[in-house]
């Protein structure tokens, strides 16, 4: 899921609003996720329970709420 999210422009916007750096493409989103989860590769999110938990609490769940809230704005 992290792989797919990093390709999503809405995820870039979500990250950009929370980062101290400009998140504007897949590479910067990937770097932000890796740093936020303390891993060197997104594949580690499948293997490391602590990193997976960080992914879920810092990115996956908040982004789901962000996407739902954003799509309801008219």
In this predicted model, what pLDDT tens digit does every residue of 42-58 receive, in sequence order?
A: 999 999 999 999 999 99
Closest CA to 44 of 36, 23, 69, 10: 36
- Residues 6 or more apart in contact with residue 73 via CB below 8 angstroms: none
Q: Is 5 helix (H, G, I), strand (E, B) or coil?
A: helix
pTM: 0.89
Closest CA to 33 of 57, 65, 49: 57
In this predicted model, what pLDDT tens digit does every residue of 3-19 receive, in sequence order?
A: 999 999 999 999 999 99
Percent of the chain with pLDDT over 90: 91
């Amino acid at each position: 899921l992290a792989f797919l999210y990093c390709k999503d422009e809405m995820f870039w916007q979500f990250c950009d609003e929370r980062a101290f750096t400009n998140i504007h493409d897949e590479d910067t989103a990937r770097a932000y996720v890796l740093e936020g989860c303390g891993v060197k590769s997104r594949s580690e999110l499948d293997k490391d329970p602590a990193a997976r938990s960080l992914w879920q609490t810092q990115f996956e769940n908040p982004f789901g709420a962000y996407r739902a809230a954003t799509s309801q704005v008219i």
